[in-house]
Amino acid sequence: MFHRSRGLPGPHLEGVPVHSHHNGLKTAALLGLLSALILALGYAFGGSGGLIFAVFLSLALNAGTYFFSDKLALRSMRAQPVSEAEFPALYQMVRELSSSAGQPMPKLYVSPTMQPNAFATGRNPQHAAVAVTQGITQILDQRELRAVIGHELSHVYNRDILISSVAGALAGIITSLAHLAIFLPLGGGDDDDRNPAAFLAMLILGPLAAMIIQMAISRSREYQADADGAKLSGDPLALASALEKISYGAQRMPLPAQGQLTSSAHLMIANPFRAGGISSLFSTHPPMEQRIARLREQAGAIQYRR
């Protein structure tokens, strides 16, 4: 169990996060696919004016989300700022990991939610916040919580909030185009011989494809934060153990999938909603079993190098 006043263990740091070129290329390719979908839908719907309107509308909405995502996410979890006097051990581990990464220390928040979870938000390391729930401080030991903090800090250092915002903006443009197409004539472009079935298919499948690509980007960044966070904390097995406990606790105490919480769920280290059914197919979180398996492989590789 995590106690506020207890000192911290000091496992050897394996190093600070190193970004994966493979992961970066994968993210770039997925963002490229979203951009291609925008061009395809814009041509299919034939409304250049509508295309411009959708682009500006989605960019404006997502710019607002980008700059105020921290406040929205913190409010959705009722997280409150905490002082070092209240949580000295938490401050100590965050300060240590931030210093190891050569980055500024984020603001710290605690949510009264009893579900074990954590998330980071903020558009860059200079405007970042890390929040943990009351529940996570009660089920994790300090070694595990330190590894979770490393994961969340890696999201900030990898600029995942920016990447998610860009992906959200592009997906939003596609969805807006599909909505606008309902009010556009079928022959809105230069080609009046358009196939109605193909038009209808793009109207339905375009937003679906955008959602799937956006989900793939989120999953890709989650795997990367696991690897980089384990590297920052120097303890992949601690993160694997923490994920097992968090997953079990989150499923025992799922949060309601409603309101602003649904827009902030992708930021959390584990899916806060009840798993199972078709909703699990569209989760932005990778399967927990695969995340844990990768972390154990990472720990094995470290031991092998030693």
> CA dist 30 to 15, 175, 176, 181, 280, Å?
29, 17, 19, 24, 21
- Facing residues of 68 across strands? none
> CA dist 194 to 43, 190, 191, 280, Å?
11, 10, 6, 36
Of the residues 84, 96, 152, 289, only one is catalytic, namely 152
Compute, in degrees rounded to 10, the torsion defined by CA atoms 254, 135, 284, 280: -30
Q: Are 79 and 109 in contact (CB under 8 A)?
A: yes
The one-character DSSP state at 266 is G
CA distance 116 to 120: 14
152 a catalytic residue: yes
The SS3 assignment for 305 reads helix
**Residues annotated as part of the active site:** 152
